[in-house]
Amino acid sequence: MTDIRRLAEHLNISIGTVSRALNNRPGVHPETRSRVLQAATELGYVANASGRSLRRGATNTIGFVIETGSPANQAGDNFFYIVTDAMHESLAERGYDLVILPCHSADDPVEYLARLVARGIVDALVITATRVQDQRIALLAKSAMPFLTLGRSETPGEYPWIDLDFHDVARRSVAELVALGHRRIAVALPEKDVNLGQHYRSGYLAGLQAAGLPVDPDLILRVATSEEGGYDFGRQLAALPHRPTAALLCSEATTVGLYGALRNNGIAPGTDVSIITFRENPQLRFLDPAPACFRTSLPELGQEMARAVLDLLGNNGDQARRNHKLWPMTFVPGASVAPPGS
């Protein structure tokens, strides 16, 4: 709670010198500097953030926006905690802090962002769960706030993104199943405006085409990204007159629900219907049969995101806005996949 003035008085020197010493500015006698640093530690002095930001015109803080009201965020495991943990650590090495900015259910995400930008509490923003047409991106692109999106979008403009390679995951999943003899493969897609669904769908279609398989619209379903959504998907598959022998999930959150629905309808996951889900996580590992899925290092993803954001704030910010990164994932076989009719 001490301010810089009291610290200076305590040391009998001017606040200017104290400030220079604390901020590693040149032109301070080494002995003075060490006295200042020691006194700061003793008195628990930390610069007041408002004063510093006001003067510097920057907060040295990155905001990571999460819509806490979204069912997709309330389901599943704590993807974001792992990503932000690593991202935060990388940012800290460069003197930046990270805060998670939750946008609550009753608030409008676009207005929330507009307020954030104007209030100036962060130097850059990360937004997640991008839509095909995303007003948040349109807003940010018009503003002067540097931002990174986790997920692509068809919203026009030049902005940096990092995205998991949903296309390749889906394509690869189909290929794995086809190699075992599957020919009727269902897929659960999210709501239409969720951008990852576009890519997952295109990968699925590419996989079918590569195998010379026809597209059956009955096998392409849209469900909520939640346990309930997975259950829905399973029920709908069970009700199909000509049941598929395999199913793909573009979100691991739906896996448990799908297993439950199949079992409740007398269908054995893995035996009657092969399943490949999206991202490996600890919960999946103990499901029976263990689901085939895709692995990636979330800490590495967080580090990459930190790098991308820091690039935006560096000297080559303009160039950094053209940074695009497709994040690869590797297939993890599982007992949930078997030849059809086995």
Partner DNA sequence: CTGTTAGCGCCTTCAC
Partner DNA sequence: GTGAAGGCGCTAACAG
For DNA, the binding residues (CB under 7 A) are 3-5, 12-17, 19-20, 22-23, 25-30, 32, 47-48, 50-52, 54-57
- In 3D space, the residue among 171, 141, 169 whose CA is nearest the CA of residue 155 turns out to be 141
| Contact call for residues 329 and 169 (beta carbons, < 8 A) | yes
The rounded distance, in Å, linking the Cα atoms of 259 and 242 is 19
Please choose, from the candidates 241, 262, 237, 245, the residue with its C-alpha nearest in 3D space to the C-alpha of residue 184. 245
Residue whose pair of structure tokens reads 């207005």 in the numeric block = 111
Q: Which two tokens stand for residue 206?
A: 């590419």
When CB distances are held under 5 to 8 angstroms depending on the partner's kind, the choice from a second copy, DNA, none that residue 193 binds is: none
Residues from 86 through 115 that contact a second copy (CB under 8 A): 86, 88-89, 92, 98-102, 104-107, 114-115
Q: How many binding residues for a second copy (CB under 8 A)?
A: 64
Q: Identify what 13 binds: a second copy, DNA, none; CB under 5 to 8 Å per kind.
A: DNA
Among 34, 108, 118, 330, binds a second copy (CB under 8 A): 118
Closest approach, Cβ 84 to a second copy, in A, equals 6
- Strand, helix or coil for residue 124: strand
Which residues between 218 and 257 bind a second copy (CB under 8 A)? 226-228, 230-231, 256-257
Closest to a second copy by CB, 104 vs 192, is 104
Secondary structure (3-state) at 265: coil
Closer to DNA by Cβ: residue 52 or 183: 52
**Could you write out the DSSP letters of every residue in 269-299?**
BTTTBEEEEEE--HHHHTSSSPPEEEE--HH
Q: 26 touches which of DNA, a second copy, none (CB within 5 to 8 A by kind)?
A: DNA
Are 247 and 258 within 8 A, CB to CB? yes
The correct pick among 13, 15, 37, 82 for binding a second copy (CB under 8 A) is 82
Question: CA–CA distance from 294 to each of 189, 270, 288 (Å)?
Answer: 17, 17, 17
272 makes contact, choosing from a second copy, DNA, none, with CB < 5 to 8 Å by partner type, with none
> Per rule CB under 8 A, is residue 76 in the interface with a second copy?
yes
Q: Which is nearer to DNA, 55 or 324 (CB)?
A: 55
Q: What is the largest CA-CA distance in the chain?
A: 86
Per-residue burial over 81-106, b = 16 or more CB atoms within 10 Å of its CB, e = otherwise: ebbbebbbebbeeeebebeebebeee
CB contact at 8 A, 288 and 336: no
Choice between 218 and 288, CB closer to a second copy: 288
Interface region with a second copy, contact rule CB under 8 A, candidates 11-19, 80-88, 173-181, 331-339: 80-88
Answer for the pair 243, 295: CB distance below 8 angstroms, yes or no. no
Question: Quick one: which of 295, 299, 340, 302 has its CA closest to 172?
Answer: 295
Provide the minimum distance between the beta carbon of 32 and DNA in the complex, in angstroms, as a whole number.
4
Q: Which residue number, 239 or 322, has a Cβ lying nearer to a second copy?
A: 239
Binding site for a second copy (CB under 8 A): 1, 44-51, 53-54, 59, 66, 68-69, 73-78, 81-82, 84-86, 88-89, 92, 98-102, 104-107, 114-115, 117-121, 143-144, 226-228, 230-231, 256-257, 259-261, 263, 282-283, 285-288
